[in-house]
Structure 1
Amino acid sequence: MSAFPAVAHAPAARSPIKVLVADDSAVVRGLVSRWLGEAGHEVVATAPNGRAAVDALARCNPDVVLLDIEMPELDGIQALPLILAKQPGVQVVMMSTLTQRNADVSLRCLALGAVDYIPKPESNRGVTTSDGFRNDLIERIRVFGAARARRRPAPTAVEAAASAAAAAPAPSRLSGTVTLRPKPRTVAPPRVLLIGSSTGGPRAVGEVLEKIGAATLRRLPVLIVQHMPPVFTAVFAEHLGARIGLPAAEGKADERIQPGRIYVAPGGRHMRLSGSAADTVIRLDDGPPVNFCRPAVDVMFLDAAALYGGATLSVILTGMGSDGTAGARALVEAGGTLLAQDEATSTVWGMPGSVAKAGLCHAVLPLPEIGPALRSAIAERV
């Protein structure tokens, strides 16, 4: 089961999305080209290595580049900065098999400017027979091609910080479809920070935690659900720990959570919470996907609402789909504080857009402002 949310394929745009496919396997290049053509997109070039992909940019002007990591002559991580320098704004999606090395390289590519990655079956036969890989690939081309084509207007003004949003006596309008939630009459000191994210999330989560800072994060545990497959979540946690300077790892079954530690839901398993607010224990669950996802944000958020009541601080960052909306509703109805990333800075405004449009957020902020807002909220209340 894919760790990514499944989304029904919309008909291709009237103007086809132009794609460059770079992979050293002729079988993969041929299959991907056929799949994308059947979906109404246009493969404007294929390349057997990174050097050929860079050379093809000027003549084909793609909206999206599918870039394999392991290629001869010039591999994916070497080609990525050259592609972005030669054609700023192009959406680059990495492809890699599920190995620890490739997971590490994929996350480094996200930090360098790739917008996403797609786990690829290890063999050509696996690529041929994997509906999950085919569907993930087509959906990401649709989403990122549309993002490249769209020229968004400047974002409207939003609340500058969570504390300012919480102090507002009445809801504030962001747009015709988004209304901020008013401040709870009483605000409990947060005992846990909860983060849900998907597409574009690894880079966003790292930026948010870095701007909160290790000194502030030592005051409470951080629980993260990032839609990722197995192997990737463990490497993601390692990257966070190195960047933030705090212990970070996948949550383990029967582990008691502690302040100053970062827990990432392991790929392919729901991260549940049991016990009490004073003694919270992680439970790992192999139950069915929720919102087409495992791990699912809703699963963790609903458990947190039951355990912590209003003593939660939570944020929904960039991602496809609507995972987290039901759990966010439970959190805010229990008295917790919820922030969401705004549309202009989201890679995909699916998950944060869903909670924002549902009127569940106390603030909807650009990514650079979320970390400082959370830091203020923690410092003021702990």
Structure 2
Amino acid sequence: MGSMEERPLRILAADDSAVMRGVMWKLFQSHAEDRSSELPRMELCGVALDGVDCLESVGRLSPDVLVLDLEMPRLNGLEVLRRLQVESPGLPVIMCSAHTERGARSTLEALACGAADYVTKPAEQRDFASAMLSLSQQLLPRIAALARGAKRKQESVVTQDGSSNAGRAPAGTTLPKSSAPIELVVIGLSTGGPSALEQLLPRLPADFPVPVLIVQHMPKLFTGALAERLDKCCSLRVKEAYENAMIRPGTIWLAPGDAHMEVGQGNGLMDRQDAGLAGRSSRVRLHQREPLNHCRPAVDYLFFSAARMYGASALALVMTGMGADGLDGARAVHERGGVVLAQDEASSAVWGMPAKVTEAGIASATLPLGEIAGALNQRVNAGRLTKMETARLAISAMAPRREINDGLL
């Protein structure tokens, strides 16, 4: 069998709906006939009607990517995923999710169980052609990106201890210091993002001294469910952002689906008094402008606003995801003297967004997922007094006054 460039990508679809199986067959047939597509060739090598059939088909057909339904007879999608983590751990899995609150929560659980990405089922389209177009725009680029990423990881140079050196900074790297203390962290991510956030954010301490704003490419319902899920496992509060929300330490704001999020100016004295350790008054601004980089919310909107409002005091982190959203905004942060970090290839589900930033030469470090929290803590605390030091200074400042008072008594 030839390489992926020499043969079509082999896709297995598992869905108990005859309608969805028909859409899948037609989708890949149409893609095979489309000579103008820049995506690699793909073929539907098989369909499975339930979870048990799916596991048997994976072993028999050796697909490059599995498209998996959540609700199926005998074994549901989550049960299949748990089995695949043992039986076929390297197989990229894309979940097919219903665009409902229950579907969103189940999808997030699937991502935590090892699924690489998801697409929403075309439930609101008026006809078969619209449904197929919607699924095509969501599914085919994800298949191409995940298959390419899996192949690159298989071919990457592996060290004796089993870890890859591709796309990462050398061990023990010390992050360069900027001229200004960091007052805001902004994060952008897409494919593989929810799972990455579940590993990163719980490692940030409750006294993390600056606010955090995140753009994760996700539709409505999903971002609210993700914020709730992350809030349960983090020391910091995680909330879905809303218009005019105060940006201050202790809270992580997640951009809502279908709305761009920016950092805006605060509203005066009360904001300045309530700004806390960040020492700056700012609020969340949401808007419905046209998608940027085919995305709404778009990472670039957030990063541009952080560069504009915080300048050298902004830290932008670009994590796993396909495409180039965040590159221009990260460049703006870099040009204003701020810090830019990127996730490395080995720990990214898709090394697209962070690869663009790394290749542009604007990332001061490209780090494995497991090292990012430590890097953030190191950078935001550089030059910043700890609570204990602050208390010691306050006591020292009060000591002469006590001596005078004691002398008067």
TM-score by length of 1: 0.87
For residues 202-235 of structure 1, what are the alpha-carbon distances to aligned partners after superposition, in whole Å with 9 as ceiling and x for unaligned? 1112222222x23343x22110000111111111
- Per-residue deviation, 1:283: 1.2
**Which runs of 5 or more structure 1 residues have no equivalent in the other structure?**
1-11, 167-182
Distance 2:191 2:239 in 1: 20
2:196 to 204, 220, 231: 204
Match of 1:60 in 2: 61
- Per-residue deviation, 1:76: 0.9
CA contact (8 A) 1:216 1:379 kept: no
Q: Which residue identity is paired with 2:182?
A: P
Distance 1:58 1:198 in 2: 30
Which runs of structure 2 are paired with 1:1-382 in the superposition (5 Å)? 13-39=5-31, 40-122=41-123, 128-130=129-131, 131-150=133-152, 151=154, 152-154=156-158, 155-156=165-166, 158-160=169-171, 164-166=174-176, 184=178, 186=179, 188-211=180-203, 213-217=204-208, 219-275=209-265, 278-382=280-384
Q: Which residue identity is paired with 1:18?
A: R
- Per-residue deviation, 1:201: 0.9
Distance 1:149 1:325 in 2: 24
- Per-residue deviation, 1:90: 0.8
Query: How many correspondences in the alignment?
Result: 350
Structure 1 residues 125, 67: closer, same or farther in 2, change over 3 A? farther
For residues 68-117 of structure 1, what are the alpha-carbon distances to aligned partners after superposition, in whole Å with 9 as ceiling and x for unaligned? 11222221112111123222211111011111111111111111111111
Structure 1 residues 37, 51: closer, same or farther in 2, change over 3 A? same
Identical aligned pairs, as a percentage?
A: 39
Distance 1:124 1:53 in 2: 27
3-state SS, counterpart of residue 312 of structure 2: coil
3-state SS, counterpart of residue 381 of structure 1: coil
For residues 178-206 of structure 1, what are the alpha-carbon distances to aligned partners after superposition, in whole Å with 9 as ceiling and x for unaligned? xxxxx54x2x1111111000111111122
CA contact (8 A) 1:165 1:363 kept: yes
Larger gyration radius, structure 1 or structure 2: 2
For residues 224-275 of structure 1, what are the alpha-carbon distances to aligned partners after superposition, in whole Å with 9 as ceiling and x for unaligned? 0001111111111111111113321111011111210010001100002211
Q: Judge which range, 277-286 or 152-161, deviates more.
A: 152-161
- Per-residue deviation, 1:38: 3.4
Distance 1:271 1:159 in 2: 34
- Per-residue deviation, 1:126: 6.0
- Per-residue deviation, 1:22: 0.5
CA contact (8 A) 1:159 1:363 kept: no
CA contact (8 A) 2:219 2:258 kept: yes
Q: Which residue identity is paired with 1:272?
A: E
Structure 1 residues 59, 81: closer, same or farther in 2, change over 3 A? same
Larger RCO of the pair (alpha carbons < 8 Å, separation 6+):
1
**Which runs of 5 or more structure 2 residues have no equivalent in the other structure?**
32-40, 159-164, 267-278, 385-409
- Per-residue deviation, 1:358: 1.1
Q: Which residue identity is paired with 2:175?
A: A
- Per-residue deviation, 1:23: 0.8
Q: Which residue identity is paired with 1:346?
A: S
Q: Which residue identity is paired with 2:348?
A: S
For residues 137-166 of structure 1, what are the alpha-carbon distances to aligned partners after superposition, in whole Å with 9 as ceiling and x for unaligned? 11111122223334222325614467x130
CA contact (8 A) 2:206 2:236 kept: no
Distance 2:217 2:58 in 1: 31
Match of 2:399 in 1: none
CA contact (8 A) 2:347 2:368 kept: yes
* Superposition RMSD in Å: 1.9
Q: Which residue identity is paired with 1:190?
A: I
Q: Which portions of structure 1, spanning 4 or more consecutive aligned residues, are displaced by more than 6 angstroms? A: none
3-state SS, counterpart of residue 225 of structure 1: strand
- Per-residue deviation, 1:128: 4.6
